Chains A and B, each alone.
Chain A
Amino acid sequence: MRVILERSNLLKSLNHVHRVVERRNTIPILSNVLLNASGAILEMKATDLDLEVTEATPANVERAGATTVPAHLLYDIVRKLPEGAEVMLRTDEDGNAMSVISGRSSFRLQCLPQSDFPELSAGSFSHIFRIDSAALKALIDKTQFAISTEETRYYLNGIYFHAIETGGKLKLRSVATDGHRLARAEMEAPAGSEGMPGIIIPRKTVSELQKLVDVPDVAVATELSDTKIRFTIGSVVLTSKLIDGTFPDYQRVIPTGNDKALVIDRQTFAAAVDRVSTISSERGRAVKLSISDGQVTLAVNNPDSGSATEELAADYSSDPIEIGFNARYLLDVAAQLSGGDARFMLADAGSPTLIQDTADENALYVLMPMRV
């Protein structure tokens, strides 16, 4: 293989694919990126056996061929080359090493044969549709923070995507929960997503996808079956296994009868929560909200260090209520909201609270209180 291409093209593609490669691998080939030069393109591919990202970039292919080299190493080399440089990638006759040559810099990397590189066979897909990149990004952005990181609860380690008919319209919904809070976002279902199976996209795939769809006005081709999903974003193709589990019946925890409405300026509220929680311990960051006519009092009590309170004006006219929450969860939700005001729909101190975005009716959040 002998190929010459612009550093910026190479860097951009490597940036997309190298993140898939885990820093530590027991299987050596999984540390490598597959390089495949043919025609006028260089294709790069990386995998962790659950997730695979491929990207093709234009290149001057002088001799077609393929090999694999350590992904993070190649990325770091290319990153440190000067801007605007041209890079030549050239394998030895015996294929045991590849040279990376740019200007006066020259590197030799050990190769592993491309025939050893694992293929994530996608099988056939049952549903194919296109989603606008910004809409897909919103579905991810609004829910990602609630994904569980507790590995033994594998069925919560991702975002649940499904199509659902609601109010006479078909919606595509994303839902994530860690058992303490839940986030739900929706958009009008794209044509072709009708009848798609409910799928759980793993956390790592979600976070790679989130970066890849951070480009405006791209129609993301989405293909899925009940075990795999594939996104094509321009020249990048991401293929991933799905989580083999059943997402809980989340509708049952979204309250519909909460009648105590609290409307409060979002940023003022978040800043106050952040301030009073300074005093709380690392564990159990509970903040107590005492809500009465037109006013919320935030209180934190830490037996080891002291206490804090802050009073805020708010729009509230129901019966007074005292309710505790994890301060971090309140801040997380507040950070997701886009409207100037946050609307809390409360029932009592032991029941789920609904939080709505006053500027975005497509998103909602459920927060379980803490017993304080």
Chain B
Amino acid sequence: MANSGKPRQIPLDLGHRPGHSRDELVVSDANRQAVALIDAWPDWPATVVVLAGPAGSGKSHLAAIWAANANAVFIEPSEIEAWVEDAPLTHPVVIDDADVQLDENGLFHLINAARAAGTHVLLTSRLFPSAWGVRLPDLASRLKAAATVEILEPDDLLLAAVITKLFADRQVEVEPHVVQFLVRRIERSLSTAIDVVDRLDRAALEQKTRITRSLAAHAVNALDLGQAELDLDGGGD
């Protein structure tokens, strides 16, 4: 923690509510295909749809929109077996981060059950199914038949819109030129965007100021320094 020695007010941790509604979804070229497919439900080209994209790219947001629309249930990868055995599938199903702790047999049966019930399965993952290392040939062929859409790393437009949305989630007004400054200065990833918005929100609350370009410059610098420290530690995943 950088401490210049001057007393600093600690702000209250008031929190905020992330918006996961369709209205709050930001659409750009990076995710247009994925959004179109989510909006097209129930006219889906396949029983299984896979959303593949980097961390923070809005996979869970899209899944939440679809789940609300399709009255789908979220299930954990580890719970698949129980779901398949319990009863015939009555609802569409979402599995977030489907490739983590993948239960190949369970997923295979789940997909079959969904096909039999005439319903759908939405899977999200950071990777394409072909990179999941599936060993069960039947599941591999089911996943090959799935409609896979990729969400790309954000373009400038999306990053700017996402940063604006993140501020809107926190109910703070920020001038467009500050957002543009952030887009130019931060690492092009959505998780960095979340981090920098969090820092800025906190700093503005601490200092009781609006979020200005100079405050943004401070936050970006602090973020850069923080990352450097992490690099020195040799950590990372």
Interface residues of A (CB under 8 A from B): 148-155, 177-182, 245-246, 248-250, 252-253, 284, 286, 324, 326, 350, 352, 366, 368-372
Known interface pairs A179-B208, A324-B7. Does A253 touch B14 (Cβ–Cβ under 8 Å)? yes
Q: Which of B132-156 contact A (CB under 8 A)?
A: none
- Closest 3 A/B residue pairs (Cβ): A286-B7, A248-B14, A179-B205
Contacts of B8 in A (CB 8 A): 284, 370-371
Known A324-B7, A326-B9, A368-B9; judge A150-B209 contact (CB<8 A). Answer: yes
Q: Is the CB of B12 within 8 A of A154?
A: no
Whether B11 and A180, one on each chain, are in contact in the complex, defined by CB atoms closer than 8 angstroms, is: yes
Instruction: Pick 15 A–B contacts, CB within 8 A, sort by A.
Output: A150-B204, A150-B210, A152-B173, A152-B211, A153-B172, A180-B12, A181-B12, A245-B171, A252-B14, A252-B15, A286-B7, A366-B12, A370-B7, A370-B10, A371-B8
What is the bound-complex CA distance between A252 and B13, given in angstroms?
8
Report which of B3, B11, B173, B208 forms a contact with A368, defined as CB distance below 8 A.
B11
Among B7, B14, B209, the one with the most A-chain Cβ atoms within 10 Å of its Cβ is: B7
Give A150 to B171 CA distance when docked, in angstroms.
12
Contact A182 B12 (CB under 8 A): yes
In the complex, B16 has a CB within 8 A of chain A: yes
Contact A179 B210 (CB under 8 A): no
**Contact surface of B with A, Cβ cutoff 8 Å:** 3, 6-17, 171-174, 204-206, 208-211
Chain B neighbourhood of A152, CB < 8 A: 172-174, 204, 210-211
Contacts of B3 in A (CB 8 A): 371
Identify the closest chain A residue to B7 (Cβ). A286
Interface residues of A, dominant DSSP: loop
Q: Out of A179, A286, A372, which one reaches B14, CB within 8 Å?
A: A179
- Chain B residue nearest to A284 in the complex (CB): B7
Inter-chain contact B6/A177, CB cutoff 8 Å: no
Taking the nearest CB of chain A, how far is it from the CB of B201, in angstroms? 10
Q: Is the CB of B7 within 8 A of A372?
A: yes
What B residues does A252 contact at CB under 8 A? Answer: 13-15
Further 10 A-B residue pairs, CB within 8 A, beyond A177-B14, A284-B8, A371-B10 = A152-B173, A152-B204, A178-B208, A180-B12, A246-B17, A249-B15, A253-B13, A324-B7, A370-B10, A371-B8
Q: How far is the CA of A324 from the CA of B13 in the complex (A)?
A: 18
Least CB distance, B2 to chain A, in whole angstroms: 11
Inter-chain contacts of B210 with A (CB < 8 A)? 150-152
Shortest CB distance B177–A (Å): 15
| Contacting residues, chain B, for A182 (C-beta < 8 A) | 12
Nearest chain A CB to B49 CB, angstrom units: 33
Instruction: Report the minimal beta-carbon distance from B18 to chain A, rounded to whole angstroms.
Output: 12
How far apart are the CA atoms of A179 and B170 in the complex, in Å? 13
Given contacts A245-B171, A246-B17, A252-B15, contact A150 B208 (CB under 8 A): yes
Q: Are A284 and B15 in contact (CB under 8 A)?
A: no
Cβ A369 vs Cβ B211 within 8 A: no
Q: How far is the CB of A116 from chain B (nearest CB, A)?
A: 31
- Which A residue's beta carbon lies closest to that of B208? A150
CA distance A148 to B204 in the complex (A): 12
| A368-B10 contact, Cβ under 8 Å, with A150-B209, A151-B210, A152-B172 | yes
In the complex, which residue of chain B has the Cβ closest to the Cβ of A245? Answer: B171
Specify which chain A residues have a CB less than 8 angstroms from the CB of B9 in the assembled complex.
Answer: 180, 326, 368, 370
A154 lies within 8 A of B171 (CB): yes
